[in-house]
Each structure stands twice: as C-alpha cells, then as structure tokens.
Structure 1
Amino acid sequence: MTLPPEVAELVIDRCRDRPTLASCSLVCKAWRTRARFRLFAAAPVIAFDVPGVPRVRELLATLKHPLCTLHPFIQSLSIRQSSLSASWLNPVIPTLVGLSNLTSLEIFAEHSLLSAESQALFQTHFRSLRHLSLCLTFTTFPHAVTLVCSFPLLESLHLHAQWIGASPASPSSLPPNLHTLDVGGFLEDVLVWLLSCPPSPAVSSVQLRDVAHHEFGIVFRYLRFVEATLKSFHFSFLDKRSEKTFLDSNFDVIHAPGLRALGVEGRLSDDVTLMVHLLAHFDVSQLEEVSFTCLIAVNHRRPAWAQLDAQLSSPANICLRKVAIITLPHLESGIKAALPCLDERRILDFVFPKGLSKH
C-alpha cells in the first residue's frame, strides 16, 4: 500500500521526534526535502570551547563539507561561546553566510571583536533576518548602528554589546518593522542615538538592562519618546547606587495609554519599593501584567506592600490579570497576606528559581 503524498507530508509536518524525521529523510526523494526542513529548521548550538563540547567546530565542519545540503533548511541559529579570544568569531562568519534562509540569529561572544571584513559579510548575506541577538564587541558604536540598520526585515533586536571607540552614531532610520528592543551594555550611547532617529511607530516592547545611576535622565527621555506606542516595558538596575538614584528621582509622569506589561529587577532582593515608585510615575489604564522580585520576608517593607496592594487593586487597574513575583517557596504565604486585595482576585503568580518548588 502506497501512502498518499498529502498524508505523508501532513505526518512529517506534525512530527516532533528528531530520530523519526531523520529516518523519513532517508526513505525517498519525495520525503527528503520536507523531512530535512522540519529536522534542521532550528539548529541551536551551545558552544563553550571545552573538552567534550566542540559543538561549534562540529557545525562548521559539517557546513564546509562538499556534500552538505543543510544550508537552506536552517532558519534559526544560536551560537554561544565563552572564548576569551578577540578573534574567535571572525573565521566563523564566512561559513555562516551560506545559510540563506536564516531568519533568527543569536551570537553570544562578548570578548570577540567583529572585524570590518566580517561585518561586511554579515550585512550582505543575512538580509532575511527578523530576530537578531548580539553580545560582542565592535570597533566603534557607528559600526554597531550600521550593522543593525542593514536588516530591512528586522522585528526584534537584543543588543548587549560594547565598543572600543567613543564616536557617536549619526541619526538613521530604524528597520520599519522593528517592534522589540532589548538593550544592555553601553546603554547611554544607544539611547542617545535612538532619540536622534525618527520616531518608529512599530516599537512597542522595550527592555533596558543594567541601568546605571547616571543613565536615568536619558531613560526617562526615551520612555516619553515612545510612550504613545509602548505596550511592554521592563528594566533592571546595575547596582544598589542606581536603585537609590531611582528612588530619589522625581521624574515627570509617563503617559503610556497602551502599556500592558511592566516589570522591574533590582539588586536588593526586594523590588517592591522600586515597583511602588515606578507605578507612581506611570499613567496607565490598560495594564495587564506586573512582575518583580522578592527574596526577603515582607515584614521588612510592610508599608510598601500595603501601598502596592492599593495601587494595583485600584479601579484604574481594572484590566490587571497577573502579578508575577519571583520569590522563594517559604515566602509565598507572607506575600499573599501582604497583598490581600490582589490575592482575593486570584491574580498572584509565584515564580520560583530553577530547582526550587513549593513542596
């Protein structure tokens, strides 16, 4: 009995078992292309250059092989490397440019310095990228800007990079479909540049990591710059000094009518005071989700907990659906007692660190 091609294609598309897909790719030519596409559409590579885990080298050797046919099937690639060598990444790029259908790329190689030749290859051959995550070193900030703005289809950018030169970048237009920004590293340089660019109506999700004490002025300016389109905002502090600066600041209210998610991550193991201060400076009416961390007993900040309960249970936050709290299992009952109104609405969501559970 011959299996109809339509049925075979449907079965292959629904299959999630990699060994089965590998077997299907060897059955016949009719099955090979579809099975290989499902098998190699995502090729995550965790590449710490230590004995026993030479994953990046294995991938490069495979892609260089004259009989390799994987290139058009790889759509997503993640390369993470802990090498301290500044030149480690540059020999890798020429091999990767053959991945013509790549739409998602993550490169974590913070000590690697991207050369001019590698950047030119990057910009020329990865034009179909929609999601880009980079943690590496550039010669100057304008080099980083040129690279980011060379991908016309880019939708999300995670940039945790650094650069050697101190020259500012010229104003330029962001990719028109860019809706998600996740920025860390030399944050002030990036925000100054973003403020010099024409407003982008697509930017709706912003995450700023490791904000330093001297960067809050530019952070608040950028929030007002995107407040009309902002739907999600999360940020974290670099150190305790930056937290104190934030709590002592009295910035103008941010009017973000479309904001749906708000999150904060501090360094004091108790973000409730930070969240209270943040909520007091945001004018929102559609907020659906709030997230923060609490790793100490609530009795250390009981007035702040009462204020947070009042803020989030007010009629202005009628759309609130979830309050996510990263905490420890033994603190859950105390937090529920400190947030009685929110607990009664059953919208508290406790997230425990990996390896810990309530029982």
Structure 2
Amino acid sequence: MTSIHSIPPELIDLIIDHAHADRSLLAACSLVCKAWFPAARHHLFSNAKLNAENASSFVNLINSASSTINPFVRHIDAKDNCESGRWVEDWFAKLTSLPFVTSICFTSSCDTVLSQTTLRALRSFDRLVDLRLVGCQFADFIEVQELICSFPVLQSIYLEADWPEPFAITPTETSPSPHLRELYLRCEMSHILDWFLMQPHVAPVSKVTLHGLDAVELPVVGRYLQALGPVLTHLTIFPSGSVYNSLSDHVNLSLNACLQYLKLVIDCDSPDLTMARTFLSQVDSPLFDEVELSFYSVRQGPRLAREWTDLDKLLATPKFSSMTRTTISAMSAAGLAKETLPLCHQRGVLQVQRHYTISCSANSTLSCLS
C-alpha cells in the first residue's frame, strides 16, 4: 500500500489544485502535514473578498501574532458600500501587512474622494501587477498620476473613476510601469492618454478598452493608438454618442499592423453600420483573427439591407482571410445575424451570441451562446 510520503510532492500539489473549489476539503488538507500546507492554504486564502461585514475580523486575523495566512494572500477584492456601512477609511490601511499581494480590485459606491490614508495604503502594494478601481473619486488628477506611478511592475489597469478637470496635464518625475500591457479606461481618458504620451517611452500596451469614448477625446485617442503602432493587438470601443461619425477621421488602424481583435459596441442603424464598415476597412493586419460587433438588438429592413450586405462583402475580402471569427452579440434578435451576414455564415466564421447584462459592476455581463 502506497503511503502519502511516497507520493511525489508535484503530484500532491496537482491533486490539491484539482480540489480548489472545495473549501472544507482544502481546510482538511492543510492540517494533514507540512508538505500539504502551502498548496491548500494557497487556494483557501489567495483571494480576500472584503466588505463592511467581514473586513474588521479579517484585519484582526492577519495582524494577530499567530496568523499564518499572510504570505498566501495574492488578491484583495475590497468593496466599500455606503448603504451597508463604510469600512475602508478605518481598516484598509491595516491590510499592508500582506506582503505578496499582486492584484487589487477596489470598488466604491460612495460619492466621496479617496482619503490620503487610503491612497497611501494603496501605493504601498508595490508588487501589484493588476489594479482595478471601480467607482472611485479623486481630489485631483495628480493623485491619479501618483497612484499609477507607484507600481513599478504593473501590467494591467482598469480605471473607472472621476476627478476634477485639471488646469493642464503636466509631466511627472516618475513614469508609469514600463510593463503595462492592458488598459481599460472608463473615465476622462484624454487626461490619461495625454499624460502617457508625454513619457519618454510609451509603455507597450497590447490590449486597450475605451469605454464611453466621445468625439472630444478622438484626437488624443488617435495619437495614442498611433504611438502604440504594431504593439496593439486587441482594441475595444464603447462609444458615447455619435463617435463613429468621425472615428475614422482620427484613428487609422492600418498603423496597428499586428491587430488581432476588434470589438465595436454600436447601434444597429444605417449610419453606425456604415461607419463600422469604414473603420473595419482600415484593418491591415495579417494576424487579424476576430471582429466582434455588439448591439442592443440586431435589426433588418430595407434601409439596413445594403449596409449589412456591404459589411458582409468586406469581411469576405482577402484582407480578412486570416479571420476565424465574426462575433455578433446582442440582447435580442441575435439569430438574425445568420441572415444579415450570409457570406460569413457560409464561410463558417460567424459566431452568434446572446448576452444579458445582470449587474452594473465591472466586467459583469453574463453571456450564453445560441
């Protein structure tokens, strides 16, 4: 009979990894022997989800002399909700005893600016590779700049935040992380992008999402995407208003020669379909793999028939021969895409997706394939 001591440690870790969702089993494994302790504790405590109900007890636990979980916490998901009671001001700064946190998602539903105490605590996590700020308020743009520059190895930023209009965007003594690869902006993105363009070297961001893009911001967006050039591989645009009427006048996707994925969230009417086709016609990348068009509803009709036909023909041209997916996502009538894009359907690249928005929080869309 094989004893547990004769099983290779690598195999034991794989077995414990397989049980990552069974917290009672993981707790039992962590008590079996010292060899099982790290893998089990990793799954039990790597993700700390904190709110007004549990934050104080968690902080007291990690700051107690007998705590053994501190080295295992990698991600902090902190939600400050005014309705259920604020806790961040009193407790967040005490999380700095966690030495190996690499990811923070900070969500605030309170209409107040982040305090200096909270900002200092955030800046102390200098191992961060992923920072997500949702619904946050800053006293000024300088605070935003200082926060972003605090993380030398940061790779991903999700910024849904507000701050007063600055008198001017000025350079900073320090720069954002040169390792930055993913950028999601749902804020005054012209301030961020203007500042990024002031750096001696623009970080090679490969994935960009612009949520709430308006026409005023198009010039700086065009300059930023041009500066990224072939580094950019994924681009997602959620417009605000009639951005598509002038999008192709400011943004030239032919300069992004390694683009692989493009997502446009548009209205299913004639002007937007026309501009989507015009914008797509700029794509000049041999690596281009997928275009996703997201609608509230897919519609047909005499006025739209020509636009759908022209879009379908464009996607069937040799310049899109590398494309393996044309994804149409919509909250209703998504199945009509097979009729409106027959060439894509016949080619076998059309993917139809119905999506339902179930929450207002970041990245909270539940989708199912039809």
26, 33, 41: which is aligned to 2:38? 33
Are the aligned partners of 1:252 and 1:281 in contact in 2 as well (CA < 8 Å)?
no
Q: Does 1:151 align with 2:157?
A: no
| 1:328 positional shift | 4.5
| 1:245 positional shift | 5.0
The CA deviation string for residues 13-59 of structure 1, in whole angstroms up to 9 with x for no partner, is: 332222210111123344333311222122344x4x6xxxx244554
208, 211, 214: which is aligned to 1:212? 214
Q: Which residues of 2 match residues 140-179 of structure 1 at below 5 A?
A: 140-164=140-164, 166-167=166-167, 168-171=169-172, 172-179=174-181
The CA deviation string for residues 223-259 of structure 1, in whole angstroms up to 9 with x for no partner, is: 1121231111111112x3445554xx63363311100
- In structure 2, C-alpha distance between the alignment counterparts of 1:129 and 1:357, rounded to whole Å: 32
Are the aligned partners of 1:104 and 1:131 in contact in 2 as well (CA < 8 Å)?
yes
343, 346, 353: which is aligned to 1:341? 343
Q: Does 1:323 align with 2:326?
A: yes
Structure 2 unaligned residues grouped into runs of 5+: 357-365
Are the aligned partners of 1:139 and 1:165 in contact in 2 as well (CA < 8 Å)?
no
- In structure 2, C-alpha distance between the alignment counterparts of 1:169 and 1:115, rounded to whole Å: 23
TM-score, normalised to structure 1's length?
0.86
Change (3 A) 1:357 1:291: closer
Structure 1 unaligned residues grouped into runs of 5+: none
Identity across matched positions, percent: 25
Q: Does 1:19 align with 2:21?
A: no
Change (3 A) 1:318 1:356: closer
The CA deviation string for residues 50-88 of structure 1, in whole angstroms up to 9 with x for no partner, is: xxxx24455445434554322211112222333279975
Are the aligned partners of 2:309 and 2:340 in contact in 1 as well (CA < 8 Å)?
yes
- In structure 1, C-alpha distance between the alignment counterparts of 2:334 and 2:122, rounded to whole Å: 48
Q: Give the structure 2 partner of residue 256 of structure 1.
A: 256
Are the aligned partners of 2:225 and 2:251 in contact in 1 as well (CA < 8 Å)?
no
Are the aligned partners of 1:142 and 1:170 in contact in 2 as well (CA < 8 Å)?
no
- In structure 2, C-alpha distance between the alignment counterparts of 1:298 and 1:205, rounded to whole Å: 32
Q: Does 1:107 align with 2:109?
A: no
TM-score, normalised to structure 2's length?
0.84
Q: How many residues align?
A: 347
Amino acid at match of 1:215: E
Are the aligned partners of 1:132 and 1:157 in contact in 2 as well (CA < 8 Å)?
yes
RMSD: 2.8
The CA deviation string for residues 118-155 of structure 1, in whole angstroms up to 9 with x for no partner, is: 322322x3111111111212221121111111211111
Q: Give the structure 1 partner of residue 284 of structure 2.
A: 283
The CA deviation string for residues 299-345 of structure 1, in whole angstroms up to 9 with x for no partner, is: 2522221121122111011110111111246441x321221211111
Change (3 A) 1:201 1:65: closer
Q: Give the structure 2 partner of residue 180 of structure 1.
A: 182
